[in-house]
Chain A
Amino acid sequence: MNQGTPMPDLIANSLPASIGVGFKSQHFNDILSGPHPVGWLEIHAENYLGEGGRPISQLQHLRAELPISVHAIGLSIGGEAPLDKEHLARIKRLCDWLDPASFSEHLAWSTHAGNFLNDLLPLPYTEKTLKHVIRHVDRVQTVLGRQMLLENPSSYFQFSESCYSEPAFLNAVVAQTGCGLLLDVNNIFISCHNLNMSAEAYIDELNCTAIGEIHLGGHSTDVLEQGELLLIDSHAAPVADTVWTLYKDVLKRTGPKASLIEWDTDVPEWSVLNSEVMQAACLLEQQRCQSQ
């Protein structure tokens, strides 16, 4: 099995094993004025595909200070249709200019017949889907000339026709394409809760050697009429204790890995985000000590 090793002609993921944050423009001055424990930044590619202005100027300053990870949300890797060539070309231009330490996308689809639904939509894990995803991951890696990390989604239902578990599906994509994995620990927790599965069993099944980056974020809870709880991937809250616990479990398997605090909605003051970063940094450091 391929261990998430990129094909020899691709630029490999080179994020440092430290804590990053999802960059928000309101934190620009806080980041540049430092000191802070943030080791790298992640940007959403689609926010930086305009041709100029403040977003590009800010990015130009940030890239001089910290490694950048480019996280795309609009390529529709799991879409049935061919990849949008123009969109892929825009992302290539951004990556060629920025030379990011990492590039990632989601195991999801978002586009159909020229319409973009601004969400990461779920896929049935079938042989046909696997062929689509492998073809698209191959295409993206070839065009960008970079290894791509593929992120596991948060799920609120499953498809009856699925013949792979999600970790088995991800492992198959890694084996066939040499892409790496971006493991969103919060997404595992949400999916496993919502779909009545074991998060530990999910991680057991996953090819953890392919993990190049970890995401940590907050979720919210919806109480259904039946009294059951549905967890929602909101990125609008601190990381839950249960997710921190799962993160420690993942680190035991992977060793210290680049880990990101995601907070995209109701974005807090820098100090709040910083305390989340500190907590993650402590856990990462503990793991580093234990690994030595």
Chain B
Amino acid sequence: MPVSMTQKELFIAFSNPDQPCPANLKTGKHLPATNGLNIYRNTIAHGLITTLESNFPKTRAVLGPKNFYSLARLYASKEKPTSSLLYKYGVGFSKFLQKIPALSELGYLPDLARLEQHIRLSYHARDCALYNWENLLKHQDTDILTACCQFDAACFIIPTYWPLGTIYRKAQSGAPTRHPKRLSSASAILVTRPEFDPQITTVPEELIKFLDALAAGHTFQTACNIEKNSSPAFTPKAGLQFLVNANSVHDITF
């Protein structure tokens, strides 16, 4: 039997417990090879579920361990990792949760999973020196307005219509909020990693478009204009102050 055929067959047999045991497997004892095959199947399934548990601890806290286990098992049976870097496993978990009808009352859960995924990416992201804001004082205001902002590689902006910061912290404290109210307007969470442990900050409503525009590569001037169009109360000073406090900027390019 060619190697390719064996591995293709085996991949299916390892991935699907319902598949029969391939005929070319034996144990050397008078025992069916199915027992051995099931060891691999269980190890694969258990490993993937454990990875999801580790990658989505707050989502697990909200759902409860048993419910999370069932959902993780279902997800693992449908989606295999595409890389051996298992911290990246579960990219589609948020969308998967969104499609489960029984979870429709926990409308914030996909956003919580998405936040956890980005916190994990932040944890493993490249180390970047933070921008020294004193350097900004050396530049004229007109130069600053045409400058662009380069965010830290560990920094992510997560848009949401839920009070995600509160939901995350409650889950972290072991007392998850089960029925938070959906917000009437868009919100966002900023994920940063000042040293080794990612932190989350709720972005004030009047700064969301400003941050999004900067993250998209627009100049300060353009970002300020975009924000002012929807939030007349916005001031560039407040925008800059938020960036300074959030430890999120790696460089300003003039």
Which residues of A does B touch, CB under 8 Å? 46, 49-57, 73-74, 79-80, 87, 109-119, 121-122, 124, 126, 128-129, 132, 155-161, 194-197, 222, 224, 226, 228, 230, 232
Contacts and interface: CB of A to CB of B under 8 A. Distances in A.
Given A116-B80, A116-B84, A224-B31, A57 B196 contact: yes
B80 A161 contact: no
Given A121-B10, A121-B14, A232 B39 contact: yes
Interface string B13-46: 0110000000111111101010111011001100
A156 B80 contact: no
A250 to B, nearest CB: 22
Contact of B3 (A129, A156, A226): A129
B84 A73 contact: yes
A151 B11 CA distance: 22
Given A53-B154, A53-B196, A230-B35, A156 B40 contact: yes
A119 to B, nearest CB: 5
Nearest to B50: A265
Contact of B84 (A46, A50, A124, A232): A46
Nearest to A158: B26
B132 interface: no
A126 B24 CA distance: 13
A158 to B, nearest CB: 5
B82 A114 contact: yes
B39 A158 contact: no
A230 B10 contact: no
B123 interface: yes
B26 A160 contact: yes
Nearest to A159: B24
A138 B143 CA distance: 55
A253 B4 CA distance: 37
Q: List the 5 shortest-distance A-B pairs measured between CB atoms, nearest first.
A: A74-B84, A50-B124, A156-B36, A52-B127, A157-B36
B10 A156 contact: no
19 contacts: A50-B124, A50-B125, A52-B127, A53-B154, A73-B84, A80-B3, A112-B7, A112-B11, A116-B81, A118-B47, A124-B24, A128-B3, A157-B33, A194-B36, A195-B27, A195-B28, A222-B39, A224-B35, A230-B35
Instruction: Kindly name the residue among B6, B7, B14, B47 whose own CB sees the greatest number of chain A CB atoms within 10 A.
Output: B7
B84 to A, nearest CB: 3
Given A57-B196, A87-B84, A156 B39 contact: yes
Given A118-B44, A118-B48, A119-B40, A226 B31 contact: yes
A155 B43 CA distance: 13
Contact of B11 (A113, A128, A156): A113
B2 A53 contact: no
A159 B40 contact: no
A126 B5 CA distance: 13
Contacts of B142: none
Given A74-B84, A116-B84, A53 B127 contact: yes
A111 B6 CA distance: 13
Contacts of A222: 35, 39
Contacts of A111: 84
Contacts of A109: 7
Contacts of A73: 84
Contacts of A228: 29, 31
Contacts of A195: 27-29
Q: Which of A80, A117, A129 is most buried by chain B, counting CB atoms within 10 A of its CB? A: A117
A128 B82 contact: no
Contacts of B126: 51-52
Which of A52, A122, A124, A161 gathers most chain B CB within 10 Å? A52
Nearest to B5: A80
A156 B43 CA distance: 12
B1 interface: yes
A56 B126 CA distance: 10
B196 A159 contact: no
Contacts of B7: 79-80, 109, 112
B125 A194 contact: no
B25 A158 contact: yes
A128 B25 contact: no
B124 A158 contact: no
Nearest to B86: A118
Contacts of B11: 112-113, 115, 117
